[in-house]
Structure 1
Amino acid sequence: MHPFQCAVEARDTAAIESSLADDVVFTSPNTFRPHRGKPITAAFLRAVLRVLDDFHYVRQISDSDGDDHVFVFEARIGDVAVFGCDLVHCDGDGKIDDFVVMVRPLSAANALQVAMGAEMERIQHEATMTVESDRKEA
């Protein structure tokens, strides 16, 4: 099992964040353009853990080099079943540097849009606080 999959299934947010490259590009089904950087990506992933119930991976598909992975998942938002996949690419250090989320059916995408929309202020705040903390430490 891939370390990212283990971290997500354990709901270990520190391990999830440590699996991300500093310059990771995150493409969400809920935003128009991709987001760049570990702080915003980690904040999105923490929000996903808050809004998706019964989240679990049902399948992993990887290329022969181990750089590209598809993690197929199932979850719920209230009584709406969510089916989707995380498409990730890992850099030479094994860190995720490209992360795309896809969700279906349309009812699930709509429910996710509403649930994540309610989280956007918190997501932005968490990402900003992380960046400010990193600047103070530097």
Structure 2
Amino acid sequence: MDAAEALLAPDVVFTSPVVFKPYAGKAITAAIPRAASGVFKNFRYVREINDAKGRDHALVFTARVGDREIDGCDFIHVDDNGLIDELTVTVRPLSATQALAAAMGEQFERIAEAARTRSL
């Protein structure tokens, strides 16, 4: 997770599959996947899709959240310095998305605290 965090631009924007408003900044964007790693079980990437210029990437994944199978995709855009400046996550089906929202909602206070600590 530290290596992934090092790839984030300071002004990265994270768009969650379960929250309408995007999160801005490296600290919160790093804290959310750290928490998700404890929520997802059997997480694995199954495919990578890249654009010809190497700036846009789609990482398709599967996992379990509780008793739900989940399929998802991390859409990543990198800036001129090769750092991730946009990260958008999508997941399906709806029942798994709802399970993810509930599980991550239970973690939100800890996520917010981790982001505050990292941004100090």
- Root-mean-square deviation (CA, aligned residues, Å) is 0.6
State whether structure 2 residue 67 is matched by structure 1 residue 67: no
Task: Report the counterpart of residue 104 of structure 2 in structure 1.
Answer: 116
Which of 46, 64, 74 is equivalent to 1:86?
74
Instruction: List aligned pairs for 1:1-138, cutoff 5 A.
Output: 13-132=1-120
Task: Indicate conservation of the 8 Å contact 1:75/1:83, yes or no.
Answer: yes
For 1:16 and 1:115, the matched residues in 2 are separated by 22
Deviation at 1:29, TM superposition (A): 1.1
Which 4+ stretches in 1 moved above 6 angstroms?
none
Q: Which runs of 5+ in 2 are unaligned?
A: none
Identity, in percent, stands at: 51
Deviation at 1:79, TM superposition (A): 1.6
Q: Which runs of 5+ in 1 are unaligned?
A: 1-12, 133-138
The number of aligned residues is 120
TM-score w.r.t. length of structure 1: 0.85
Deviations 1:13-70 (CA, angstroms, capped at 9, x unpaired): 1101001111000000121200100000000010111100000000000000100000
For 1:52 and 1:85, the matched residues in 2 are separated by 14
Task: Considering fraction of residues, name the structure with more helix.
Answer: 1
Structure ranking higher on relative contact order (CA contacts 8 Å, 6+ apart)? 2
- Secondary structure in 1 matching 2:57: strand
- Secondary structure in 1 matching 2:21: coil
For 1:129 and 1:79, the matched residues in 2 are separated by 32
Task: Considering fraction of residues, name the structure with more strand.
Answer: 2
- Secondary structure in 2 matching 1:129: helix
For 1:18 and 1:125, the matched residues in 2 are separated by 19
